[in-house]
Amino acid sequence: MPETREEEGSFFLFNDTFQTLKDTTSFGLIGLHADASNREQAQYDAQDGHVIHLTPDCDIVRGTSGSQTSIFPAQFACTVENPNPPPLTALTLQGAHSANRAIILDFGTYFLKVSYFPFIYHLL
């Protein structure tokens, strides 16, 4: 499976860089971004495949028909039940783990899964 080698190569490159810089660099989360679908390019002014900056009130969903979920992590989303969510910038990268077809970014209490095929991102 070529995607396994791609994931492993990406993980080792990321992990080596992280381990080298972790004592001298802050790895605080700045924000989340997502690739715009064709429909979203016009809606969010993300022209020609540019990414969309995700905000706590975004309504972008991903997944197969019938089981789509919000791409923005529910714990940090601005909702009626949670009008003042904690900021994403409160998270700091602690490390990473390799998984089949994904890299799991470790933010301590939360984990961000970056999948390669298809490109899916989930905060666990």
With vertex at residue 7, the alpha carbon angle to CA 76 and CA 95, rounded to the nearest 5 degrees, is 50
| More confident site: 65 or 29 | 29
Q: Which two tokens stand for residue 62?
A: 């991903």
Q: Which of 1, 22, 10 is nearest to 95 (CA)?
A: 22
- Helical H segments across 1-124, by residue range: 2-21, 38-43
> What tens digit of pLDDT does each residue of 11-61 get?
888 889 999 999 998 999 998 888 887 778 878 877 666 788 888 988 888
Q: Where are the domains of the chain?
A: 2-25+55-123
Q: Which two tokens stand for residue 101?
A: 């077809």
